[in-house]
Amino acid sequence: MRWPSADEEKCLLESLRVGNPLAPHDIITKYLSLLVGYLQNKNPNLDEHLLNTAAEEALLNFLLQPTTFDSQRSSFHRFLCMAAQADLKNLLEKERRARRAISLECVAEPGYVRKDECEPEISWQQPQLQAEIAALNPRERAVLELMKDGVRETRPYATKLGLTHLDENQQRMEVKRWKDRIKRRFRRAVVQRT
């Protein structure tokens, strides 16, 4: 695949500017796989999931704040490439900090965790979580069940959510959005009601 021409970019951005509801989908469809490919070329030794996440974040951040792009400073695809590379750098830094912050007391033989010295697990019986679970719609409940079962592959989630008609990258983005939304909801429920 090739990057869209300057005229194609201009049309896509104008479509977004005038509020075409399909514009975000068109932009993601055109640029996501290209951004992932760009990041793979620049960072061949990094995990593909991390590269996908960085590309998705760059696109979503732009779609949330389109005014961050200035056509006087660069082409749109160069802007996205720089944004994706910066998001990747931030993700790597976040991972590095998380690894450094893990207490060695929590590291033990596989299957053994010293619960007294580690962050406690969520109890699904907590009243605030039970109330939140009851408020989930059927699709959210299906996603939660897969999450609780430890499913990490995208395909089962996409099937439950009816997203199998989308390409693999779009499925991954949508599934991540659903999972993140549920996690935020539960995190808020526990923090606000404790």
Count helices and strands in the chain by DSSP H and E runs: 8, 0
Look at residue 29 in the predicted model and tell me its pLDDT: 92
74: left (phi over 0), alpha (psi -120 to 50) or beta: beta
How far, in Å, CA of 129 to CA of 149, rounded?
A: 17
Contact 194, 128 (CB under 8 A): yes
* pLDDT, tens only, 3-43: 999 999 999 999 999 999 999 999 999 999 999 999 999 99
How far, in Å, CA of 36 to CA of 87, rounded?
A: 12
Look at residue 100 in the predicted model and tell me its pLDDT: 64
pTM: 0.53
The DSSP call for residue 20 is: -
Provide the token pair at 114. 């010293």
Look at residue 110 in the predicted model and tell me its pLDDT: 43
* pLDDT, tens only, 70-81: 989 999 999 999
Look at residue 34 in the predicted model and tell me its pLDDT: 95
* pLDDT, tens only, 153-194: 899 999 999 998 988 889 999 999 888 888 887 777 766 554
Look at residue 118 in the predicted model and tell me its pLDDT: 43
* pLDDT, tens only, 101-141: 544 444 343 444 444 444 444 556 667 777 778 888 888 88
* pLDDT, tens only, 48-65: 888 999 999 999 999 989
Residue 1 clears pLDDT 90, i.e. is over it? no
Provide the token pair at 59. 């696109």
Look at residue 11 in the predicted model and tell me its pLDDT: 94
Look at residue 111 in the predicted model and tell me its pLDDT: 44
Find how far residue 143's CA is from the centre of its chain. 15
Angle ∠(45,49,55) on CA atoms, nearest 5: 95
